[in-house]
């Protein structure tokens, strides 16, 4: 899977997240150690703000209800995500 540029590091404040749409894919991108996940809760289909393990995608109540976690890297000032 290729890495694609989804945002600039200035677009996501430290410790915060942002909803990013790129090539028809919606991602929740976090400036918290390099993480991008699917943006919708698998339990209630609601937006995500907190409560999920950002490295595994596991939820706090039912780990089987996991998010898709995408590899992220920073290349200069570009945030790049490996998407299918």
pLDDT in tens, 24-69: 878 888 887 767 777 666 666 555 655 677 778 787 777 777 888 8
Contacts of 64 by beta carbon, 8 Å cutoff, 6+ apart: none
Cα atoms in the Cβ-side hemisphere of radius 13 Å centred on 14: 0
Alpha carbon distance 13, 60 (integer Å) = 24
CATH code, 3-82: 2.102.10.10
Kindly state the average pLDDT of the residues 7-30.
85
Contacts of 62 by beta carbon, 8 Å cutoff, 6+ apart: 43
For the cut 60, the answer to whether the pLDDT of residue 10 exceeds it is yes
């Amino acid at each position: 899977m290729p890495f694609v540029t989804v945002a600039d590091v200035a677009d996501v404040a430290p410790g915060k997240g942002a909803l990013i749409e790129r090539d028809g894919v919606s991602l929740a991108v976090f400036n918290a150690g390099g993480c991008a996940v699917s943006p919708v809760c698998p339990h209630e289909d609601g937006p995500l703000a907190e409560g999920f393990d950002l490295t595994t995608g596991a939820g706090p109540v039912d780990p089987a209800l996991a998010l898709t976690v995408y590899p992220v890297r920073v290349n200069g000032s570009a945030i790049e995500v490996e998407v299918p």
